[in-house]
Amino acid sequence: MGGVGEGASDQGMLQLRTTRRAVAGLAAVPWVVWAVRAAEAQTSAAAGPQPFSFERLIERTRELAARPYQPTREIADWQAALAPEAWRKIHLKPERTIWGDSPAYRVRPYPCGWVHRQPVQLHLVEDGYATPWNAAPELFELGELGARVALPDDLGVAGFTVQFPLLAADQFDQLLTFLGASYFRAVGRGTVPGAGARGLTLDTGLGRPEEFPAFREFYLVRPQQPFDPLTLYALLDSPRVAGAYRFEVVVREQTRIDVDVNLFFRAPVEQVGVAPLNAMFQFGAHDRSGVDDLRPAAHDVEGLAMWTAAGELLWRPVANPSELRLSVLVDENPRGFGLLQRTREFRAFEDIDARFESKPNLWVVPRGTWGKGSVRLIEVPSQDERRDNIVAFWTPAAPVTAGQELRFAYGLLWSLGSPIEPSVGRTRTTRIGTAPGGSGRRIVIDFERPQGAPAAAELNARVGAANAKLGPVSLRDHPHAPAWRVSFDVEPTGAGPVEMRCLLLAGDRPVSETWIYRLDKS
């Protein structure tokens, strides 16, 4: 299953997950080929600054997609064979930090090595001209590499992190990291690395190997004023698609990244994933099957939220299933969707190191008209909390054909607080366990009760369950919190999964978001 990755984190970088399948089977090209292509890169660098604009990048990407795909070079065998500990000891020297004199954004590239085997081309843009930046060995503290007799002139750039003074003017924290395929991850104020994003997914979760588009080139524009938005560009490429991306980063209480995407397809794609999000869920109050752990919960996010075009708010708790699951939420021009971490109490996790209570929400705000399609949620079995096993993205309803061009624009919000403030009650917790008597499952849902909202006695709980026998529904005020509690039993009656839905109404007016959940037959 693509989009789920293994931790490659360390000092100086966000906890990104690089995908095992993305790197499995990669064979390093012979040293002589690597050296020739490195020389080509040096020749390009020697040519000096070149004119750059997003329009030029789009046109070059269109021309690239009109030609057969050409795989990028890989690093030499010895560099790919670096142990993770050896690679992590290679650090850019502090005095070599890009824009190191800036009071705002500072950039620290990572060299290639270990699983990071395909170099990207990094360019710095000033006054409309792009200049290549190469990973010369003398720019780095080399760790174990310092003992090598000879090193290439360019170690290759694997990716980079952008630092920013989130907490104090003299303290530069990791704000945003691009590292591996099209993965990137940011934080908001008060959060620690958690949910991340990708540039694009192709055929994720369809039960066959997916294709991993990768960013091959980056262009970083130094802001004219230090605290202006940071703009960067990227060229994405893979066998079936090429894309031109613009990212504009604005740091407030939330970190917002506005993304403009131009995609050019070489071949048909069954399922294009736009604005893909990825995160980790191991277990929680509603899903502890087979768990023997001291902690009450372990997850970066606990649910998928969606704001439909009709204004309905959906909440779908995510799970760590026994087999891969794909859920499809159909809509036209949705207002937003995201993977959220609503629980903010330390006692809900009891993990001092992981700090799950400080993981960010990650919300997508579509811009422009997206048309008909669906938000798709993929849940992958996992016993390793270093691996992302939850993926969500938008898929257009119309099939994508060879030669087609698509454009999308959206914002990504990383935040500690809720990305939206609905007037209806949100789901606080979902708990699932064996029903009394051992027949079926008991479902307990707590909804927040907004100030001034009616008491439970004035409400009606609209509950439905497909492929199941539904027991009596109880709705009452929570005695220890400003909340409503709904409980009911379900007993599976068919071979398929039980699909459940719950909404609280005052007359015909919704007073809660719509809770939806899939319960697999055990």
Q: How far apart are CA 346 and CA 358, in angstroms?
A: 9
Higher pLDDT, 337 or 34: 337
What does pLDDT average to over the chain?
Answer: 90
* CA–CA–CA angle 296, 298, 303 (5° rounding): 105
pLDDT of 289 reads 84
Q: Write down the pLDDT at residue 16.
A: 34
Least Cα distance to 426 among 434, 436, 418 occurs for 418
- Residue 331: the pLDDT is 98
Do residues 73 and 31 touch, judged by C-beta distance below 8 A? Answer: no
* Strands, E assignment, 333-420: 336-340, 361-367, 372-379, 390-396, 405-415
**β-bridge partners, 273:** 201
> What integer is the mean pLDDT of 295-306?
98
Answer yes or no: is pLDDT of 5 > 60: no
- pLDDT at residue 24, as a whole number: 31
Alpha carbons 167 and 149: distance in angstroms, whole number: 42
Could you report the per-residue pLDDT of 426-441, keeping only the tens digit for each? 999 999 999 998 789 9
Instruction: Answer whether 117's CB lies under 8 Å from 28's CB.
Output: yes
Taking the C-alpha atoms of residue 10 and residue 15, their distance in angstroms, rounded to an integer, is 7
**DSSP code per residue over 151-201:** --S---EEEEEEEEEEEETTEEEEEEEEESTTEEEE--TT--S--EEES-E
- Locus of tokens 């009760």: 449
Q: How far is residue 54's CA from residue 348's CA, in Å, rounded to a whole number?
A: 46
The answer for residues whose C-beta is within 8 angstroms of residue 324's C-beta and 6 or more apart is: 1, 205, 207, 378, 379, 380, 381
- Residue 522 pLDDT grade (very low, low, confident, very high; cuts 50, 70, 90): low
Residue 200 gets which letter from DSSP?
-
Q: What is the pLDDT of residue 42?
A: 44
Q: Measure the CA angle with vertex 276, ends 272 and 278; round to 5°.
A: 135
What was the pLDDT predicted at 145?
Answer: 87
Q: Give the pLDDT confidence score for residue 57 in this predicted structure.
A: 98
* pLDDT tens digit sequence for 11-50: 333 333 333 333 232 223 333 333 333 444 444 444 689 9
Which tokens belong to 39? 């020389």
Check residues 11 and 281 and name the one with the higher pLDDT: 281
DSSP conformation letters of 285-330: TTB-TT---SSS-EES--EEEEE-TTS-EEEEE----SS-EEEEEE
Q: Which position has the higher pLDDT, 195 or 148?
A: 195
- φ and ψ at residue 288, rounded to 5 degrees: -125, 25
Structural domains of the chain in order of their starting residue, each with its CATH number: 5-415 (2.70.98.10), 427-519 (2.60.40.10)
φ, ψ for residue 231, nearest 5 deg: -115, 135
Between 93-97, 120-124, 145-149, 471-475, the lowest mean confidence (pLDDT) is in 145-149
Q: How does residue 483 score in pLDDT terms, banded at 50, 70 and 90?
A: very high
Look up tokens 């050896």; give the residue: 86
User: Which residue has 């999308």 as its token pair?
Assistant: 408
Q: What is the pTM for the complete model shown? A: 0.90
The whole-angstrom separation of Cα 394 and Cα 392 is 7
Mean pLDDT of 254-278: 98
What residues contact residue 380 under an 8 Å CB cut-off, 6+ apart?
1, 4, 205, 321, 324, 389, 390, 391
- When pLDDT is averaged across residues 380-407 and rounded to a whole number, the result is 96
Percentage of the chain beyond pLDDT 90 is 86
* Res. 521 pLDDT band, cuts 50 70 90: low
Whole-number pLDDT of residue 28: 30
Structure confidence at residue 30 (pLDDT): 32
